[in-house]
Amino acid sequence: MRIENPVEKFGSYVVSQGKDPLENSNSAGRHSRAPAITISYQAGVDVSEISGRLAEILQNLEPEHGQTWSVLNQQLIEAALEEQRWPKELAEAMPEEKRLFIDELMDDLCGLRPPSWVLVPQVVKTTLHLAVKGHVILIGHGATVVTARMGNVFHVRLNGSLPKRIERVQTRRNLTPEAAAKLVMKEDRGRERYLRAHFHARLDNELLYDMAINTDRISNDDAAATVYEGARRFFSEHQRDKHSSS
């Protein structure tokens, strides 16, 4: 039987409280928000290349009042760290995973890095504010769950078979097949634990996503174009709903 860490439970409570003020705002407020996209992905998927290409397509094909689309991954952590007056350079040492309570406590006591019960609620606040502002592609860090009830956000999942993802990591990082497999599975497990511990959610819950893409069968460029087309249709429908309800 698994005994839930009391700090872990408290962290989930704080996260849920942080979501409510924006998610429960009135319908007019939701309709006035600019579009945003979240991307959840498995380890070994070329999320940086796909999201970067997607941002280029959005910028070139959907220019709106001079707004620039931004891709935010580690920057979410950096912003949360800066809000707590921690150096943003720590973001590189803070992977998206659930760490042992004793490790977090010792790091906190030694002043090495903030614990998850401080950082995660701050990341939630940052994510919500960015999603409300719009014109952002938010990658990982629970962004899909945090913005799940926001009508202006399109949610994407990038998947791939384990052998293909291991092969990509092996080539990209010049690793042995064994080391690449170990890294991919470690990152997948870490993200699953992170989402379960802090958001009481599962990455494999298909209902979290508006679109899922198999990167084994679709190239990075085609994946970006497919997400763009899906998002364009989604946001067009969102605009129709806005006008019909006004």
Q: Report if residue 40 sits inside a domain.
A: yes
| Structural domain count of the chain | 1
Give the dihedral of Cα atoms 163, 165, 167, 172; nearest 10 deg. Answer: -170
CATH number for 200:
3.40.50.300
Distance in angstroms (rounded) separating the CA atoms of residues 136 and 134: 5
Is 204 inside any structural domain? yes
Q: How far apart (Å, rounded) are the C-alpha atoms in residues 203 and 194?
A: 10
Alpha-carbon span 199 to 13, nearest angstrom: 9
Instruction: Tell whether 1 is covered by a domain.
Output: no
Local confidence pLDDT in tens for the 246 residues of the chain: 333 333 333 344 344 444 444 444 434 344 457 899 999 999 999 999 999 999 999 988 766 556 788 888 877 666 666 666 666 555 555 555 544 434 444 444 444 455 565 677 777 888 888 899 889 999 988 889 999 989 899 999 999 999 999 999 999 999 999 999 999 999 998 888 888 878 888 888 889 999 999 999 999 999 999 999 999 999 887 666 555 555
Asked if 169 contacts 183 with a C-beta cutoff of 8 angstroms, the reply is yes
Q: Are 164 and 64 in contact (CB under 8 A)?
A: no
Q: Nearest Cα to 230, choosing from 38, 27, 24, 12?
A: 38
Residue 39 lies in a domain: yes
Residue 142 lies in a domain: yes
Tokens of 26: 């009135």
* Largest Cα span, the chain: 58
- Domain extent, residue 62, equals 6-245
| pTM, to two decimals | 0.75
